[in-house]
Amino acid sequence: MQSSVKSEHGETARTPVIEVRGAAKSYGSIRALDGIDFAMNPGEVHALVGDNGAGKSTLLKILSGAIKPTAGTIYMDGRRVNLDNPQDSLDLGVATVYQDLALVPVLPIPENIFLGREPTRYGFVQRRRMVRAARDLFESLGQMNIRNIEASVADLSGGQRQAVALARAIHGGGRALLLDEPTAALGVRESEAMLELIESLKTPQHAIVIVSHNLAHVFRVSDRITVLRRGVKAGTAIREGTTTEEIVSLMTGATSASGEER
């Protein structure tokens, strides 16, 4: 299905679902990101790792259209696109679970899941449909027991909130899923459920990015690992060809970029 070309290294290169080239973002004098090339390939889970403040969330927000990069170009399926606002990337099939989850605490779960794309008839929101769909969604996810689907997000635990944000992202469909620290707020059992879920979401068409601090989690679910350090790319490696030690040394700056490939 996917257009494939053999690269000189003999590895199959497909047209990335999303790709950024030369992405940079400055906040005043702070350079949060500089000259980043990053690609999300179909069928791949691409992990993004790095210390606190390395720029992981910033890169993710550029991919989701939540912030505009200071420089750089974005391609979807090889075509150049402008992500002027989050709606643009949502329209292109990019779903995001932000690190802060981007939920509205005062609103009930169904309102949060359908935020921005409420089903309507004659302009009237079909709320009963929303409630039913939200319930079905949690049943199909099979994790996180949420007893009262009408509860406000403010009344949920950290894990339950994570589930709501993820349910929203999954329900949106789309071909690219961006997950910023999806296991950071979770306990051991919940983390395990989340990782299984991520594995189950992997299909030949979907591209997934997962930001995480936890290298054990990263090595378990990802196919490719990119390391950011102080806003620049320290390197990218195929999971099978690298080790925790190598990734750690890239994170801390003990070695410079190795195994360079996009």
Partner 1 sequence: MARLVVTARLESVLKSRVTALIALNGAFVLGVGLTVPAFATATNFEIILENLSFKAIILAGMVMLLAAGRFDLSVDGVAALSGITAGLLMERSGVGPLLAVLAGLAVGLGIGLINGIAVEKIGLNPLMTTLATWWAASGAALGLTGGSYPYDFPDSFHAVGRLQFADLLFPIWYAFFFVVLLAIILKFQKFGFHTYATGGGREAARRQGVKVGGVGIGLFVLVALLSAFVGVVFAARIGTAAPNAVDGFALQIIAAGVIGGASLGGGRGSIVGGLLGLLFLQMMSSAAFFLGIDPLWIQSISGVVLLVAIAADAFLRRERDEAGAGAI
Ligand X SMILES: Nc1ncnc2c1ncn2[C@@H]1O[C@H](COP(=O)(O)OP(=O)(O)O)[C@@H](O)[C@H]1O
Q: How far is the CB of 127 from ligand X (least distance, A)?
A: 34
The residue within the footprint of partner 1, chosen from 106, 136, 189, 203 (CB under 8 A), is 106
52 binds, among Mg ion, ligand X, partner 1, none (CB under 5 to 8 A by kind): ligand X
Contact positions with Mg ion (CB under 5 A) in 78-137: 99
Using the rule CB under 8 A, give the single segment among 42-50, 73-81, 83-91, 217-225 that binds partner 1. 83-91
Nearer to Mg ion, 99 or 152 (CB): 99
Binding of ligand X by 86 (CB under 6 A) = no
The residue within the footprint of partner 1, chosen from 146, 193, 195, 251 (CB under 8 A), is 146
Binding mask 17-36 for ligand X (x = CB under 6 A): ----------x--x-x----
Using the rule CB under 8 A, give the single segment among 3-11, 48-56, 113-121, 190-198 that binds partner 1. 113-121
**44 within 8 A of 17, measured Cβ to Cβ:** no
Nearer to partner 1, 37 or 118 (CB): 118
Binding of ligand X by 72 (CB under 6 A) = no
Binding of partner 1 by 107 (CB under 8 A) = yes
